[in-house]
Amino acid sequence: MELWFTEKQTKNYGITAKIKETLHTETTPYQELAMIDTIEWGKMLVLDGCVMTTDRDEFIYHEMISHIALSAHPNPKKVLVVGGGDGGVIREVLKHPSVEKAVLAEIDDRVIEVSKEYLPQIAVALGDSRAVVEVGDGIAHVKEHPGEYDVIIVDSTDPIGPAVGLFAKSFYESIYEGLKEDGIFVAQSESPFFNGELIHNVQADVRSLFPITKLYLASIPTYPSGLWSFTIGSKKYDPRVIADESRSASLVTKYYTKDLHRSAFTLPRFVEDLLS
């Protein structure tokens, strides 16, 4: 019998993948969690019916949410990742030799545990001596650590359920306070096709707080519409400019390159139009 998984990305549209095996399902205190093995994308972490990451295309998202902000910062030492319990962002952050401490603030420890079990190549760095895993509310963590971070990365789920607060202007205010005077913040900000209004609002909120606000894109096949956006707010450094060319050139990556860093900020007109 053929079994298929479908994420309904909108009310009227979805992506579907043939299942090799359902490895794990559970209801955590926060969400429905599933780990399925698919033929085309390998193992897939699914939260509340939404694809979070897959073996085959995870590198794109994890590299692009991490290396733009970290490469724009001349000396990132302390980094906070809010969400991202699978550990993929921590793995990329720790590729920067200047990073002394990378804190993961994830609310749902089941995401961490299930990822460690089934996605070891993504969760690999959670055991690194520079990684600190804190199970708890990322919003509270940011508020409790003013002026502490060089870079804050928000690796959230969609703006429904447990992640709603991670798209609120009050959270961006706390992030601004949580950063050092030259800090940079980046958040995943969904699909320009399906979430144009959200992108517009997030940009406007971040722009009202940070002197430099930009949007950049990456192609992520298993996410809604395949085109994904990231919103970046910076207190001092232009995020389009690579601070240390040799550090960025020596990163071992599969998607990110120095040229791609710069080109990711070149937007199609319909996306540029979302920003005004």
List residues binding ligand AG3 (CB under 6 A). 7, 9, 50-53, 61, 84, 86, 88, 155, 157-158, 188, 223-224
Smaller CB separation from ligand AG3, 108 or 148: 108
- Closest approach, Cβ 153 to ligand AG3, in A, equals 10
Q: 155 an active-site residue?
A: yes
Which residues on neighbouring strands pair with residue 34, listed in sequence order?
25, 46
Beta carbon of residue 219, minimum distance to ligand AG3 (angstroms, whole number): 14
The least distance separating ligand AG3 from the CB of residue 241, rounded to whole angstroms, comes to: 26
Residue length of the chain: 276
Stated as kind and residue range, the H or E segment containing 9 is strand 4-10
Residue of this chain nearest to ligand AG3 (CB atom) = 50
Cα(97)–Cα(57) distance, rounded to whole angstroms?
25
CA distance 15 to 66: 26
- Of 57, 86, 108, 155, which one is the catalytic site residue? 155
Shortest CB 156 distance to ligand AG3, Å:
6
Q: What residues contact 137, with CB distance under 8 A and at least 6 apart?
A: 105, 107
Closest approach of ligand AG3 to the CB of residue 261, in Å: 20
Indicate the residue among 172 and 242 with the shorter CB distance to ligand AG3. 172
DSSP secondary structure code for residue 108 in this structure: -
The residue among 171 and 242 lying less far from ligand AG3, judged by its C-beta, is 171
DSSP string, 161-220: GGGGGGGSHHHHHHHHHHEEEEEEEEEE---TTT-HHHHHHHHHHHHTT-SEEEEEEEE-
Identity of the residue, 74 or 221, whose beta carbon is nearer to ligand AG3 in the bound complex:
221
Q: Alpha-carbon dihedral of residues 173, 177, 181, 182, nearest 10 degrees? A: -50
Cβ contacts of 29 within 8 Å, gap of 6 or more: 108
Nearer to ligand AG3, 92 or 242 (CB): 92
Residues annotated as catalytic (active site), given as ranges: 155
